[in-house]
A = this chain, B = another copy of it.
């Protein structure tokens, strides 16, 4: 307990090694992660959270790093959380670290951290949100979430961010592809990166056309499409301005509070789901399931029969009176 308290104090003081250690505990789901998160909770809420997402190869890392430099030049403290899909045979986060661009890492004002999902994709955006809480409580002004690659993480991260930026390139397909990918719904605005490549203007037009189908009225936010060449630093200031414009919109419309409450709701639900899951799948019920799966072809039960049986067993066990 004393140990956790020292770590909590160091997190609140913004010490980099403490931030890293606290995030590792979240990632590894250690017992004291929850103690730490509860202890810092009253200090959370100041940092602005921006999700940078989009298909692989769109240049999200580059854009994220250039944005981080932009904010650093304004004297802001910046945290970057790179959210990787699980990669059982290589270690997703490891890869993420290795091939990451490193031009901002040497700057002590930027804290970079990769997080892998270790199998539970649903849990990843919650963990990323909790890691952002650590950075928030530690004094970061901006937390940038960057998703690595395809997968649910790409869409989920919108749930952890105040503003979500979807990065596309001319080659990543037109607006219809982005719509099919579910990216239209989560984008607060789009960045068309590598805008010097052929087809850039057509891609912008196509995205804008699809955006026109989104229901909106005079007061709603209209998602724009910005062009960048992130590797040359072109268009980064405009992206930062658009993030700020969206933040102002959310503040004045009450949208920021709505989003943060939605996030809180999701987070409480996530904690409950995981806890129920843990209580349900004790070794005994896990064995029951295995035995049923092994014999299901022979005994004429359906998956629904087995589910009903296991839930019945759970109902008996979970009762507070079951130990009487």
Q: A residues near B, CB below 8 A?
A: 34, 37-38, 41-42, 55-57, 84-90, 92, 95-96, 99, 121-122, 148-152, 154-155, 171-173, 176-185, 213-215, 261, 264-265, 267-269, 271-273, 275-277, 280, 289-290, 292-294, 296, 300, 302-307, 310-311, 314-316, 318-322
Contact = CB atoms under 8 A, between A and B. Distances in A.
A315 B307 contact: no
Contacts of A316: 320
A86 B182 contact: yes
Given A42-B300, A268-B310, A182 B213 contact: no
- Main SS class of interface, A: helix
A57 B185 contact: no
A264 B152 contact: no
A37 B181 CA distance: 30
B180 A95 contact: yes
Given A268-B307, A302-B38, A150 B57 contact: no
Contact of A280 (B177, B272, B289): B272
Contact of A213 (B90, B149, B311): B90
Contacts of A38: 302, 304-305
User: What are the 3 closest A-B residue pairs judged by CB atoms, nearest first?
Assistant: A319-B319, A152-B152, A149-B180
A263 B272 CA distance: 25
Contacts of A294: 261
Contact of A87 (B85, B179, B314): B179
Contacts of A173: 56-57
Contact of A151 (B151, B311, B315, B322): B151
A181 B151 contact: yes
B265 A289 contact: yes
Given A90-B179, A96-B180, A121-B155, 18 more contacts: A55-B55, A55-B56, A56-B181, A85-B181, A86-B182, A86-B185, A87-B185, A92-B180, A122-B122, A148-B180, A150-B154, A150-B183, A265-B289, A268-B303, A271-B304, A272-B311, A275-B307, A319-B322
Select the residue from A87, A99, A272 with max chain B CB neighbours within 10 A. A272
A190 B179 CA distance: 25
24 contacts: A38-B302, A41-B302, A55-B150, A84-B180, A86-B182, A87-B184, A89-B214, A89-B215, A90-B179, A99-B176, A149-B182, A150-B182, A151-B181, A151-B182, A261-B294, A264-B296, A264-B303, A268-B306, A268-B307, A272-B280, A272-B310, A273-B273, A315-B318, A318-B318
